A and B are shown apart, each in its own frame.
Chain A
């Protein structure tokens, strides 16, 4: 791979994106810089093809007419007779809107509960001193160390004895608030300055008012990060819904879309249309909110 040699070509000019340096005027240097820039763009496009190519090919397949070739060499990249009929086939084959609504319910519920319960707990852990705090932190840390996959069998047995298997509530409850959400909120509340809070105390604000009026509005960035991550995690989750939902009528989109391949259809065009229905809303959401995504992941990684 020539990526190894070209990618780190000019690390000296990077690192502080906010302050672009004036380009040196020496011509020999600038010609080399131009060549490096061209190489960089070529590599960028190459990685682009690898990352987004599979989506585009799937999109193209979903639009191909029934008479068109979807197999073989050379691959036919663009549909000759584009049609939306396979999307209609998906809707006829599985109750895709119902599945989408189920996914939306679970994901929205997860985003709301993670923000609400996570901020409450994170606030207590960050701003209050009390006996047993270390124990509470330990419990949240433990939930991050225990892989969900290692408790899924007894989790399923528990859901069944609670009569929550085959319900959306059963899908949502285990991740209603995660240790990660709590700890993200704790970090955010910790970094708030004491002075503001003390002023509020002097003004006679109680604990609850300080939380709602002062603390929560100051960590809006974290609220959006936790909301987005919980939403996407719930929307994408596959293993737990697959276990807890056995009735096809209550499926979320990820589980329901599985039925397209194999059980209901052998037409790759219809499967492709189904995957597009499952992924496009999320990609649109992501591209609208991508600034928050990158800020959030960055912050989390920096703070460790």
Chain B
């Protein structure tokens, strides 16, 4: 092309690169360095080698939050891979008013986590809508302690996550469904395959990459879950903080008065490795199944 000076591309890139380096790359490096020190939030800190990581291995709060986060992942990811697909199939056909339904289904995505949390803590309170309905239908006699029992709190937070993500993943599935060639489905129909068989043997195999994508996105989102638990519990993560997630523990440990920045940085690295590991794992599982 034209004789361009070498620095022209860098002039275009400079502002964005400056933001990315200053606010992601440098803090990430700093996190790695801090994780090897006993720095507090106020500053200071000495090199302590791998002490923080040894301490992590015996930290009950850390393991509790890791276990809760893992539980979250194991339950929510399958729900998020399947339910939005069913909803996408439901809104896929162009029938009267379908644009309205699609838009309304997406509205929880637009609402902020805090708003969702306040609404859901109201829905799930002992006198709230969910308990009222369950009692009215004689499913339970005593209200379920969604907000005061750690396990029920996690369950409520999971329901909230699924509710809020439904529209988002629905749209991803809609885009993928639009790419399923109709000729294949029609050929299967000519061959006498019923609707369910066409779905399982034509649509699902073609949707596999999208399902993997959704699983990866959902898994990473679950690993980082914070606001659901925080808002539902009014900031306490349940009685004794027993519904704590990894990010909740990082924030509690590393920030605020007397925060242990060094120790929290070690936890942060654990979070980073976990999210990285999840993406690698899902990709691996995918390629292995494709080879088989």
Kindly state whether residue B254 has any CB partner on chain A within 8 Å. yes
Supply 16 A–B pairs (Cβ within 8 Å), ascending by A.
Answer: A8-B89, A10-B195, A12-B189, A12-B198, A54-B123, A124-B12, A145-B279, A147-B272, A157-B30, A158-B30, A177-B16, A207-B8, A235-B112, A237-B112, A294-B106, A304-B213
Residues of B at the A interface (CB closer than 8 Å) are 1-2, 4, 6, 8-10, 12-13, 15-17, 19-21, 23-28, 30-31, 34, 41, 86-87, 89-95, 101-108, 110-115, 118-123, 127-129, 132-133, 135-136, 163, 166-168, 171-172, 174-182, 185-186, 189, 195-196, 198-199, 203, 210, 213, 220, 223-224, 226-227, 231, 234-235, 247, 250-251, 254-255, 259, 261, 264-265, 268-269, 271-272, 275-276, 279
Tally the A-B contacts, defined by beta carbons under 8 Å.
316
Chain B residues with CB below 8 A from A182, complex form: 16
Chain A residues with CB below 8 A from B178, complex form: 15, 17, 298
B90: nearest residue on chain A (CB-CB)? Answer: A7
With A and B bound together, what is the CA distance between A276 and B282 in angstroms? Answer: 39
Considering only residues 214-253 of chain A, those with a C-beta below 8 Å from chain B are 232, 235-239, 243
Q: Is the CB of B114 within 8 A of A207?
A: no
Chain A residues with CB below 8 A from B120, complex form: 54
Chain A residues with CB below 8 A from B12, complex form: 120-121, 123-124, 128, 211
B9 CB contact (under 8 Å) in A16, A133, A243, A255: A133
Chain B residues with CB below 8 A from A274, complex form: 118
B1 vs chain A, min Cβ distance (A): 7
Kindly state whether residue A193 has any CB partner on chain B within 8 Å. no
**Dominant SS at the B interface?**
helix
**Total residues of chain A contacting the partner, CB 8 A:** 110
Q: Is the CB of B114 within 8 A of A238?
A: yes
With A and B bound together, what is the CA distance between A79 and B179 in angstroms? Answer: 46
Q: Is the CB of B94 within 8 A of A20?
A: yes
With A and B bound together, what is the CA distance between A15 and B259 in angstroms? Answer: 54
B7: nearest residue on chain A (CB-CB)? Answer: A130
B248 vs chain A, min Cβ distance (A): 10
Chain A residues with CB below 8 A from B111, complex form: 55, 236, 279, 282-283
Q: Annotate A122-147 by CB proximity to B: 1 below 8 A, 0 otherwise.
A: 01110010111100100110110111
Kindly state whether residue A173 has any CB partner on chain B within 8 Å. yes
Q: A3-B86, A8-B89 are in contact. Are A151 and B123 (CB under 8 A)?
A: no
Kindly state whether residue A108 has any CB partner on chain B within 8 Å. no
B92: nearest residue on chain A (CB-CB)? Answer: A14
With A and B bound together, what is the CA distance between A172 and B132 in angstroms? Answer: 42
B13 vs chain A, min Cβ distance (A): 5
Chain B residues with CB below 8 A from A74, complex form: 132, 136
